[in-house]
Each structure stands twice: as structure tokens, then as C-alpha cells.
Chain A
Amino acid sequence: MAPVPSALSVTGLAKRYGSVQALRGVDLDVGEGELVGLLGPNGAGKSTLVKIAVGLVRPSSGTASIAGAPAGSGPARAALGYLAELFRFPGWYTAAEVLELHQRLAGSRGGAEERRRLLELVALADAADRRVDGMSKGMAQRLGLAQALVGEPKVLLLDEPTSALDPVGRRTVRMLLEEQRSRGVSVLLNSHLLSEVELVCDRVAILLGGEVVAAGTPAELSRPRGVELETDEGIRAVPGATREDAPRLVAEAVAAGRRVYGVRVLTSTLEDVYLEAVGGETD
């Protein structure tokens, strides 16, 4: 039996813009129903990678494929939904008309029912007849997300989908992504919001200078940072200790006559991992 192709597969991907090397041989796979986060400072090559995957940019070398089809080909485009970082819809279209346009271009037969469902999904059910030029940035971004979901794509590539959203909007998107994953949709999420990525992503890849400098599940990437004991003497940190050391440390404290109120195994957060990976490089 032939192996099932990855939803998104990128091999040795490189891209040069004049004198700028945006990507330097990136390898990345997104499996079926997997939600992968792409992190990195501005200029790390995240958007370039996504643009190559959706066929907007040609790679200098390497390959990219969507559901087994070369990126940019008809079958690849038919399988994906995309939300660009900088996008705009014609201001004179209403939300429903934007979705209808994309339904027609994507060959979706969902009709009015699909439009209603998608607008409801992004909390724009009451704005179906509102024109795009009368929408806030957040509303336009949610409409962009609904547009990406037209035609029930197998793979979603989202470039900063929550950059203009308030906390409630971000939560809506998070729930939406989880729902998509539960339906077997693969998602590549390019975001600056580490907490968000940590909350929803199965795996994370951190790009720096066009290269993947760290990749894995959030659990794989995190490192033990010791154990913290809360006793009647106060809080005591034991650097280097692991989860396995916790019972022994508690027993030793009790044997020493201390009252133990709590014990906490410390691990690095995704933010710690990220800052370590990018060497404290900021935007």
C-alpha cells in the first residue's frame, strides 16, 4: 500500500531575494490532522515558506508539496485554504459576497448554507451584509479566516491569523483551529503569539535566518528546570532536579522536620525555548 503523502511537505527549501537569503534548506512536514506552529522573529523566513507552499513564490531550490501535489499546481491549490499576513478584499464587497466569490473560484457547492456556517464560525453571522470597507481590522481578519475555510480544504496555511484580534477573537480562532484538527484538517500556523501556539499546536518549528533551529512537540522542546519545594521555611528551588527526584526531595524535607505544602516540577515554557533558540534576537 502506498504511503499517505504528508499534508504539507517541504524539502531542502531555499529562497533568495537578490542579495537576501530568505530560506536556507528548510525541511518540514505537516501530517494529516496535525497542527504545526511556525515561530521566528521577523525576517526569519516564515512568510516566505508559507508563500512557497501556496504557490505565490517560486523557490530558488528544494521542493514543496501539498497533499502530494507540487506546490502551486492545480491539485495543490484545490486542497488548500490560505490566509495571507497582508491581504485585502475589495471594499465594496459584503462579507457574504467575498465568501461567494471564493466559493465560485474554489468550486465549492456549499452555497448559502456554507456561507452562513462559516460566518457563524468566525462570529460574523450578523455581518453577512456588511461591506468590507465598513469592517474593523479584526472583523476583516475573521472574514479572511472564513474565506480560507471555503470549500473545506484539507490543508490550512495561516499567516498571522490573529494579529489584529482581541483576546476573545483569539479564543474564537483557537477553538476553530482545534475543531478543524478534530476533523482531520492539517494546519500550518505562522504566529508571533507564543502562548497561542503553545496552547493549540501539536508540533512547533522555530525558524531563524532561514533555517529551522528547533523543532518538536512543545513537550520535547521544553527542558527540566529543577524542582520547587514550598515548606514552612519558604520556597526552595532545587536546580537540576527532575520529576523523578520529587518524591525523594519531599521525603528528605519531611525527614528533616519540615512541613511540605507543595512541590512543583519546573520546565521551560515555549517562550524560554524560543528565546534560547533565537538567541534573544528581537524584531
Chain B
Amino acid sequence: MGSVGVIVEYGFREAVRRKVFTVVIVLTAFFLFLFWLANHYVFGQLAKITPPPDVHVDTRTFAGAFLFGLALFATLFLGVVLAVFLTIGVVSGDAERGLLQPLVVRPVGRSTLLLSRFLGAAGVCVVYVLVVYFSAMLITGLTGSWWPDQVVWPGLELALAVVIVIALSLLGSVYISSTANGIAVFMLFGAGLVAGLLGTIGHALNSHAVKHASTIAAWALPFEALYQDALRMITEKASGLTGFLLQLGPFGGAYVHGWPIRIWSVAYLVVVGLVALHGFSRRDL
């Protein structure tokens, strides 16, 4: 445990020195301010929104869920940015700069080193995601008197989604250069989001082929499925036209969800981790 602590501290100091935290904290504060502003204006104007008499939409639920869904996306995005910056060059980048070799030859060993870097990044990102998630929830709740149907689970699923991205980024850093790894991880992230939107369109159009493609993408990139499941849970009790409209929106619900995807995500994490450890153990430095 001592060696793990040393490497975690090493990674943490590196992040502090590279001003990763400073950039992320500034970006987060800016986002939360904008988010509060959006909530302030939307809920301030809520009384003036009058749907047609025959359309029974709960405007408060609709506005709250839509805004908070947006916050979930931003939380995931910022969490992924933080995760990528913390892990993008852990192996290839540090090896190219000659930082890794003096550490690897120490008795600590390669597996412990990689696992420690994972634990360090995961610890920071989980705390970060939960802080942003609950801050956004408080802003929407206190400004608009709207609270999600599930309070804790969506935040945990978002945190797990970011942890999966950390594992993918570490895996990439074993095999490819820092720049290529950063591009690859963000492309995977983008692919996941596109697949999620595709699923929403597929369900709206009732297209079996599009729904099937989206489902495959959700299992292949479980961080996207977890994000969708988190979206589903914030309005899982919304019914009627309100629920239907929320399902159709860009921040709508998940079609692969619940315990199966959570269990699969943990298994996926383990598999990605093992492949990364195996690759790192065989890599020439």
C-alpha cells in the first residue's frame, strides 16, 4: 500500500504542477455560473409558458429535467476532460520524456505503478464528478424547486462512466503516443454520444436497425450507456406526454439500462484494466 500511495501522490503533484486542476476548477466555476443563470431565467419565465389547453405537459418537470440533463452532459464532458488530462501520457508520454524509466526499475513494479496511476486519477475524477453533479442538482432544485426522481444513482453512474474513460485512456497510453491517445479517447467519447442520439432518433422513428446499432454501441462503449441510464433515472417517474417528450429529447432516457449495464460496465473496466496491465508488462521502454 505504501508504494501505491507514493505513486498516487506523484501523479497528484504532477497534475497540480501542470495546472490541470486550476484549468478544470475555472472551467467548472464558469459552467456552474452559466448553469445558474440558465436556471434563473428559465424558471423565472416558467409562469409565462402556456402550452395549448389540450396538451398536458408539466412545464416545471420538463424545464427542470431538460436543464439538469444538460448539466449531466456537461458534468460527463468536464469529467472526461479531467480524466484525459490526468492519464493521457502516463505510459507513452512519460516514457518518451524519460520520466517513467527511473520509476519502473524500482521494486514497485509495473502493475502497481499503472494501478496506482489509475486509482489516483479515478479518486480525483469521482470526487470531481460528484461535486459538480450535486452542485448542479442544488442549483436546479433551489432555483426551480425541481428535484430529480433519483438523487444518488445518476451521479454514481456518471462517476463510473468517467472511471471507464480513465481506464480506456490508460490503455491507450500503453500503446500509442499522448497526442494520438487524446484524439482517440475524445473520438470514442464523441462516437458514444452520437450513438446515444442515434438511439433516441431510432426510438422516435421506431427504426429497428437504428435502435439495434445504438444498443451495440451502448454495450461497446458503456460510459455512454451509463450516461443515458443516469438521464433515464432523473425522470423515471415522469409519465404521460411529459415523460414521452423527455424521452424524445437530446437529454432523454436510456434504452440499455439498469443493473445489466452496471454489471457489464464493471466487467468492462476489469477487462480494459487487465489488457492495459498485460500490455504495459510487455512493453519495451
Interfacial residues, chain A to chain B (CB-CB below 8 A):
17, 51, 54-58, 74, 77-78, 80, 82, 84, 86-92, 101-102, 104-107, 144, 147
Given known A-B contacts A105-B6, A105-B106, A57 and B282 have beta carbons under 8 A apart: no
Stretch at the interface among B10-18, B43-51, B128-136, B218-226: B10-18
A-B pairs, top 5 by smallest CB distance, nearest first, are A105-B106, A88-B98, A92-B17, A57-B284, A56-B285
Taken together as a complex, chains A and B put the C-alpha atoms of A56 and B284 apart, in Å, by 6
Q: Does the CB pair B285–A86 fall under 8 Å?
A: no
Q: Does the CB pair A80–B105 fall under 8 Å?
A: yes
Q: A17, A56, A58: which contacts B101 (Cβ < 8 A)?
A: A56
1/0 contact string of B40-74 vs chain A (CB within 8 Å): 00000000000000000000000000000000000
Question: Which residues of chain B have C-beta atoms less than 8 A from A80's C-beta?
Answer: 105
Q: A92, A104, A147: which contacts B2 (Cβ < 8 A)?
A: A104
B270 at the interface (CB under 8 A from A): no
Given known A-B contacts A56-B285, A58-B282, A74 and B107 have beta carbons under 8 A apart: yes
B109 at the interface (CB under 8 A from A): yes
Q: How far is the CB of A2 from chain B (nearest CB, A)?
A: 24
Q: Does the CB pair A87–B285 fall under 8 Å?
A: no
Q: B99, B101, B105: which contacts A77 (Cβ < 8 A)?
A: B105
Count residues of chain B with CB under 8 A from any CB of chain A. 22
Q: Which residue of A lies closest to B285 (CB)?
A: A56
Question: Which residues of chain A have C-beta atoms less than 8 A from B115's C-beta?
Answer: none
Considering only residues 71-118 of chain B, those with a C-beta below 8 Å from chain A are 97-99, 101-109
Taken together as a complex, chains A and B put the C-alpha atoms of A87 and B101 apart, in Å, by 7
A/B pair count, beta carbons within 8 Å: 64
Question: Which residues of chain B have C-beta atoms less than 8 A from A78's C-beta?
Answer: 107
Question: Which residues of chain A have C-beta atoms less than 8 A from B103's C-beta?
Answer: 105
B3 at the interface (CB under 8 A from A): yes
Taken together as a complex, chains A and B put the C-alpha atoms of A150 and B103 apart, in Å, by 13
Taken together as a complex, chains A and B put the C-alpha atoms of A63 and B97 apart, in Å, by 28
Taken together as a complex, chains A and B put the C-alpha atoms of A82 and B284 apart, in Å, by 16
Q: Which residue of A lies closest to B16 (CB)?
A: A92
Interface centre among B2, B10, B107 (most CB of A within 10 A): B107
Q: How far is the CB of B108 from chain A (nearest CB, A)?
A: 5
Q: How far is the CB of A47 from chain B (nearest CB, A)?
A: 11
Question: Which residues of chain A have C-beta atoms less than 8 A from B97's C-beta?
Answer: 88
Q: How far is the CB of A89 from chain B (nearest CB, A)?
A: 7
Question: Which residues of chain B have C-beta atoms less than 8 A from A57's C-beta?
Answer: 284-285
Q: A58, A87, A107: which contacts B284 (Cβ < 8 A)?
A: A58
Q: Does the CB pair B106–A102 fall under 8 Å?
A: yes
Taken together as a complex, chains A and B put the C-alpha atoms of A201 and B195 apart, in Å, by 64
Question: Which residues of chain B have C-beta atoms less than 8 A from A54's C-beta?
Answer: 105
Q: Does the CB pair A77–B109 fall under 8 Å?
A: yes
Q: Which residue of A lies closest to B3 (CB)?
A: A105
Q: Does the CB pair A88–B99 fall under 8 Å?
A: yes
Given known A-B contacts A84-B101, A87-B101, A107 and B107 have beta carbons under 8 A apart: yes
Q: List 17 A-B contacts (CB under 8 A).
A: A54-B105, A55-B104, A55-B105, A56-B101, A56-B104, A77-B105, A80-B105, A82-B101, A82-B105, A90-B10, A91-B17, A101-B6, A104-B3, A105-B103, A105-B108, A106-B107, A107-B107
Question: Which residues of chain A have C-beta atoms less than 8 A from B99's C-beta?
Answer: 88-90
Q: How far is the CB of A217 from chain B (nearest CB, A)?
A: 29
Q: B14, B107, B284: which contacts A90 (Cβ < 8 A)?
A: B14
Given known A-B contacts A74-B107, A78-B107, A101-B6, A87 and B98 have beta carbons under 8 A apart: yes
Question: Which residues of chain A have C-beta atoms less than 8 A from B98's C-beta?
Answer: 84, 86-88
Taken together as a complex, chains A and B put the C-alpha atoms of A79 and B103 apart, in Å, by 14
Interface centre among A55, A89, A105, A144 (most CB of B within 10 A): A105
Q: Which residue of B lies closest to A57 (CB)?
A: B284
Q: How far is the CB of B58 from chain A (nearest CB, A)?
A: 53
Taken together as a complex, chains A and B put the C-alpha atoms of A26 and B106 apart, in Å, by 25
Q: Which residue of B lies closest to A100 (CB)?
A: B6
Q: B6, B10, B17, B285: which contacts A51 (Cβ < 8 A)?
A: B285
Taken together as a complex, chains A and B put the C-alpha atoms of A90 and B105 apart, in Å, by 16
List 14 additional A-B contacts (Cβ < 8 Å) besides A84-B98, A105-B6, A105-B103: A56-B104, A57-B285, A58-B282, A74-B109, A82-B105, A84-B101, A87-B102, A89-B99, A90-B17, A90-B99, A102-B102, A105-B107, A106-B107, A144-B102
Taken together as a complex, chains A and B put the C-alpha atoms of A141 and B282 apart, in Å, by 28
Taken together as a complex, chains A and B put the C-alpha atoms of A106 and B13 apart, in Å, by 19
Question: Which residues of chain B have C-beta atoms less than 8 A from A17's C-beta?
Answer: 284
Q: Does the CB pair A84–B102 fall under 8 Å?
A: yes
Taken together as a complex, chains A and B put the C-alpha atoms of A86 and B171 apart, in Å, by 25
Taken together as a complex, chains A and B put the C-alpha atoms of A91 and B10 apart, in Å, by 12
